[in-house]
Structure 1
Amino acid sequence: MSDAGSRAGVVERLRAAGCVFAEEEAEMLLSTATGPAELELMVERRSSGLPLEHVVGWADFAGLRIEVDAGVFVPRRRTEFLVGHAVELAPPGAVCVDLCCGSGAAAAVLLAGVEGAEVHASDIEPAAVHCARRNVEPRGGRVYEGDLFAPLPSGLRGRVAVMVANVPYVPTGEVELLPPEARDHEPLVTLDGGADGLAVLRRVAAEAPEWLAPGGHLLMETSERQAEAAAAVLSATGLAPRVVTSEEWWATVVVATRP
């Protein structure tokens, strides 16, 4: 193997391209590539700024290998905090919904972590839906294409025990400040949360109560600075919100319960 294709060579090239976790990324590329030619192509693509998960075609999320196609939102590691709470709140056999599902990572974890769960997921992006179906449906869930609640079966109304909605929450004026990996390679609809970052959250909050079962929970990721405003939006719909945070995951989640 040439110096450029050795582990040390790959690490050096990734580090020169600005990859902060060059050693970990090199291991991922080396373990995925089927040969020197594919490895070279992967290193070139990653060095050009393509998200690592788009280069290798998958992401490690909560211990699961989640397929991630080019142009699909990459599941963030901090979102494992949200999904972990969702699994803890879901009783065996729970009806669960994953809105704005992207690759279907959250839905897949709910299916793996909740015994007998009935899991439904939706996304407005056709590419995301195509990807999510490969991650969710072989595990026993269902994926629908459409805007938020619109494509969900009407029979779910009033029956959902746990709803995960990882909505976009970056204010429109701050999208341009995101890392190029996100800004240039992920759909804008998955990032832009409107003027104050809460536009999609408000839409979910407005409809969620009629879909949740009594005692059901809605979990939404947000930023620390938006948490108070997000909780107020959810409270105004009749839900009882609480904010949970994790310094380890650098994550903030609002959990809203239907009384």
Structure 2
Amino acid sequence: MPASSFSPDFVSRTVSALRAAGCVFAEEEAALILAAARTPAEAAAMVDRRTAGLPLEHVLGRAEFHGLSVAVDAGVFVPRRRTEFLVDQALARSPRARVVVDLCCGSGAVGAALAAALGRVDLHCADIDPAAVRCARRNVAEYGGLVHAGDLFEALPAGLCGRVDLLAANVPYVPTGEVPLLPAEARDHEPTVALDGGPDGLDVLRRVAAAAPRWLAPGGRVLVETSERQAPGAAEVFSTAGLNAELAVSAELHATVVVGTRR
């Protein structure tokens, strides 16, 4: 049902309800909800879920990411806009990649965005969370991507070893002690396994870096998002693992990516 089909009074009440719940961008969120809803009753139910604290993307069932509309099921990690910077860096550095892996794939947004831009690729995604695996399969199906359930590289087909041109891994990197400090939307509605990166936030990054050289093709690259504070330590981890490491930073998106190239 188009948003314009709802009465002005209904639209006003929707905006007011969202604003009262603390939604900073109440008008924009109302427009998205009303555009997605088929009836006033459905719109009201969506507003109720949003005002109860669910992430907007879970309410809508989708997120806009790197020009794509990506399905995001309830309980699945919501792709962040800053992660578009990881995609941009991957495309700029490996524009001819043909074997692409998206680890800790969540909804599969990164893998789908890379495949959409690169064209015909052999795309493999993996996540340990069954809900994420189911969601990602829907998002990468049109690109012929395969989604594997399991823990990091253990989930991947052995035949990919030494053949991966581009490895993107949006690993969890919030230090364990800081998880309770996250906004309630993330803390209460996204899987902890997608957020908690261990005592210093680098536990999963270390595991990815340690195994990446064996899986990458000669000259292949691995890109991992991290925080500005963790970046020096993350780069050192990459170097210790035998990768040529460099940092890429976007001040606009508040995004930091560690790039490792197989020597």
So what's the TM-score if we normalise by structure 1? Answer: 0.97
Q: Which residue of 2 aligns with 1:105?
A: 109
**Using the alignment, how far apart are the partners of 1:54 and 1:203 within structure 2?**
30
**Using the alignment, how far apart are the partners of 1:151 and 1:157 within structure 2?**
12
Deviates more, 1:9-18 or 1:78-87: 9-18
Q: Which residue of 1 aligns with 2:3?
A: none
Q: Which residue of 2 aligns with 1:88?
A: 92
The answer as to whether partners of 1:108 and 1:135 remain within 8 angstroms in 2 is yes
Deviates more, 1:173-182 or 1:131-140: 131-140
**Using the alignment, how far apart are the partners of 2:212 and 2:96 within structure 1?**
21
The answer as to whether partners of 2:18 and 2:26 remain within 8 angstroms in 1 is yes
Q: Which residue of 1 aligns with 2:130?
A: 126
Compute the displacement of 1:111 (Å): 1.0
Compute the displacement of 1:93 (Å): 5.3
Q: Secondary structure at the residue paired with 2:63?
A: strand
- Give the superposed CA RMSD: 1.2
Q: Which residue of 2 aligns with 1:58?
A: 62
The answer as to whether partners of 2:97 and 2:165 remain within 8 angstroms in 1 is no
So what's the TM-score if we normalise by structure 2? Answer: 0.95
Check if 1:9 corresponds to 2:9.
Answer: no
Residue-pair matches, total: 258
**Using the alignment, how far apart are the partners of 2:259 and 2:118 within structure 1?**
18
**Using the alignment, how far apart are the partners of 1:258 and 1:93 within structure 2?**
14
Equivalent AA in structure 2 for residue 20 of structure 1: V
Task: Select which of 222, 225, 229 maps to 2:229.
Answer: 225
Matches within 5 A, 1:35-184: 35-92=39-96, 94-184=98-188
**Using the alignment, how far apart are the partners of 1:127 and 1:211 within structure 2?**
26
The answer as to whether partners of 1:58 and 1:65 remain within 8 angstroms in 2 is yes
Q: Secondary structure at the residue paired with 2:95?
A: coil
Compute the displacement of 1:30 (Å): 1.0
The answer as to whether partners of 1:92 and 1:116 remain within 8 angstroms in 2 is no
**Using the alignment, how far apart are the partners of 2:225 and 2:261 within structure 1?**
15
The answer as to whether partners of 1:107 and 1:119 remain within 8 angstroms in 2 is yes
The answer as to whether partners of 1:245 and 1:251 remain within 8 angstroms in 2 is yes
Equivalent AA in structure 2 for residue 10 of structure 1: T
Compute the displacement of 1:91 (Å): 3.4
Aligned sequence identity (%): 62
Structure 1 gaps, min length 5? none
Task: Select which of 31, 35, 58 maps to 1:31.
Answer: 35
Structure 2 gaps, min length 5? 1-5
Q: Secondary structure at the residue paired with 1:149?
A: helix
Q: Which residue of 2 aligns with 1:245?
A: 249
Compute the displacement of 1:84 (Å): 1.2
**Using the alignment, how far apart are the partners of 1:190 and 1:93 within structure 2?**
26
Q: Which residue of 2 aligns with 1:185?
A: 189
